Amino acid sequence: MLLLLSLLSGVVCTVLAQPPNILVIVADDLGYNDVSWHNTAVLTPHLAQLAAEGVTLEQHYSQPICTPTRGALLTGRYPINNGLHNGVIEPLIPYGLDTSQTTLPEELRRANYTTHIVGKWHLGFCNKKFWPTNRGFDHHYGFLNGGQSYFSHTRDGGYDFWDDEEVALGDNGTYSSTLIQQRAVDIISTHDDSKPLFMYVPFQSVHGPLMVPDVYRNMYDNIENEERRTYLGMVTAMDDAVGNITQALKLSNLYDNTVIVWFSDNGGPVNGWPPVQLEAYGSNNWPLRGSKFTMWEGGTRTVAF
């Protein structure tokens, strides 16, 4: 994660006539064996093309769980040094990413970048000082907590989908990958290219609960396990969204001057680990040992390019 941040910072610090746009896309809970270049049964043609045209990172490591990875990405600091080493921020936990920590979008905004986050935040909910629009982002569209329904956008009886600091009730009922894709495409299509663009797109996919439109689940009718079939449908839905986002870059003549970074925040979770984790999952980290929540490579060695 620190390497990725250093690469991005190095690009910005270089004296260029036209600083590059930067697109950072994060998958959530994606297994090591859940992309087509590791497993031909998985349908991820758009991600595979981007990986093949760039640099595939086969020794890329994240933190073993969501919040610490996101904090490390946006601060360039290990979780033990940014206060996020205790794990995920649950909805009722009264803290967030320390406001004394300088974030990547704050630095990029000082370099005249327009800064957007489209998707999952998970770095503080209890006080607006922790919200993305107060941590360096010009705009945020998405949700603040760690996981929820993909269609109703609810968790524990509350609705969590926002357009900046306004509740986006009109998005109730639409699949989150569709919403994230649409907003990212809109931002790209209307971007004023007199300023470089930094867009951070942390997808909800493929974090639980396992939910996907039938058209994607039906692509895996050959898979007997229903959880795995739904999960892989979610992977392909995310791949389609990434494909539409990159196509928007091309149509807007931004693609050739855009640095694209993509990775998973941790390895895929598996059913029954840790022992108190009873929720069903469909991920696969083969041939790596372990899963999300563990320091083994199945939890920390993540797919990336």
Task: Enumerate the active-site residues.
Answer: 66, 122
User: Quick count: other Cβ atoms within 10 Å of Cβ 182?
Assistant: 17
CA distances (Å), origin 60, targets 32, 57, 86, 289, 297 = 11, 6, 22, 15, 10
Q: Which residue has the tokens 């990775």?
A: 263
Q: Which two tokens stand for residue 305?
A: 């390019």
Bridge-based pairing of strands 21-27 and 166-167 is unpaired
CA distance 54 to 241: 19
- Burial of 9: CB neighbours in 10 Å, binned 0-12, 13-18, 19+: middle
CA distance 206 to 268: 9
Cα 304–Cα 29–Cα 276 angle in degrees, nearest 5: 145
**Residue 241: alpha-carbon gap to chain centroid:** 12
